Amino acid sequence: MTQSTISTLIDRIRSRDARVGVIGLGYVGLPLAVEFAHAGFNVTGFDVDANKTAQINAGQSYIPDVAESDLAACVRAGKLRATTDMTALGEMDAIDICVPTPLRKTKDPDLSYIVLAVEGVAATLRPGQLIILESTTYPGTTDEVVQPMLEEKGLKADIDFFLAFSPERDDPGNQRFTTKNIPKIVGGVGPASTEAASLLYGASVETVVPVSSTRVAEMVKLLENTFRAVNIGLVNEIALMCHKMDIGVWEVIDAAKTKPFGFMPFYPGPGLGGHCIPIDPFYLSWKARQNGFECRFIELAGHINSSMPHYVVDRVTDALNTVRKPINGSRIHLLGVAYKRDVNDMRESPALDVLELLTKRGAELSYTDPFVPELRHGERTFNSVDLPAALVQPPDCVVICTDHSGFDYEAVIKSGTLIVDTRNALKDKQAATIFRL
């Protein structure tokens, strides 16, 4: 049955007759769905959030990296629609699962979103379908968790249906590298699955890189982000060291990166944020522990990175001490609360930790972030304040947590307020009121 089944699927992909479903319409799923639609496929997006599906069907984008004009064009052309009805998964020829994979409070993997998505797929699974998991997870998830769930009713992977893992590699806010031109890693549970998944992605992205198994593909993603987390941990520790030695860490990095080989610049900051880098190393270390291996190096980097919000608050204390003010009762304004520049993503944002620590010390908090109009923290709700309004009566201290490109940093400096710059946003500025990491 394998040859006829795979041949039928391949023919449908090549002719663009294959119907493609994408489960999870966030930062990963929506850009992917649009790329599939651009490639000529009829695409259905699935999400439990009715507000998201309604916005998509109205041609409205809620993801900054997806231009509303592109989304609306796909919807008008009848190439893209969205629904909350998971029973329609049975109509799809290929299904991409792009749901979140957070951590539990114990730092163990939380696969509940994957399990729910796979249950929805399994309920309508039919011969000839291609299922691809994109959600970041530990090596073994596809063949240990997903495959048995899909095979419960008797269909066999790589024979009756096809199963692969292809790690998402999105970088929100990056205008140079997008879903279209970032190489796609693909690993199937067998050769037929790898072939089918590679062909599907090859129709919508520029480069496909097949690997030998789903576990290799799963490990690729964890290596990529653990590499970043460990190197950020290193440079954060160097920043702490440089502060003690009265050396400008930013100048050190700028000079070091002039070496044309053997060095790659990473930059210190208030802590890690986003849906990948703060989380993926824990997936890797958890799986390693299951196999009797302790990731001491990786976990040490995690400890250093998680301590950075505390160091930011120490720098706020240092700044306020220069004018003989305590944190308790001081008006402190956070500039930027999203986890990175020019995005609206709040997941794991270190600004939340900074806000929490300052609140516990009695500070009066406010913030400006054009990408995050409202921020709920505990029982409190904060609303973003326009920067000019925030500077009418300058706060005691401004903390640059996220270096959005649209901020008027010159106005902040001219206000005379103390500034703790955690992102080197004021790189070329010199003032007694500026405190850097």
Question: What residues are labeled active site?
Answer: 276
Distance from C-alpha of 424 to C-alpha of 437, rounded to nearest angstrom: 8
What residues pair up with 209 in beta bridges, in sequence order?
Answer: 185
Distance from C-alpha of 137 to C-alpha of 44, rounded to nearest angstrom: 24
Q: In sequence order, which residues have a C-beta less than 8 Å from that of residue 123 and are 6 or more positions away?
A: 86, 87, 89, 90
Distance from C-alpha of 192 to C-alpha of 195, rounded to nearest angstrom: 5
Q: Residue ranges of the alpha helices (H) in 15-170?
A: 29-38, 50-57, 68-76, 112-124, 141, 147-150
What residues pair up with 83 in beta bridges, in sequence order?
Answer: 46
| 8 A C-beta contact, residue 57 and residue 76 | no
Distance from C-alpha of 36 to C-alpha of 66, rounded to nearest angstrom: 13
Q: Among all chains, which residue has been given the structure tokens 């009805």?
A: 85
For residue 78, report the phi and psi dihedrals to the nearest 5 degrees.
75, 15
CA 187 to mean position of chain CA atoms: 21
Question: Vertex 279, ends 276 and 283: CA angle to 5°?
Answer: 115
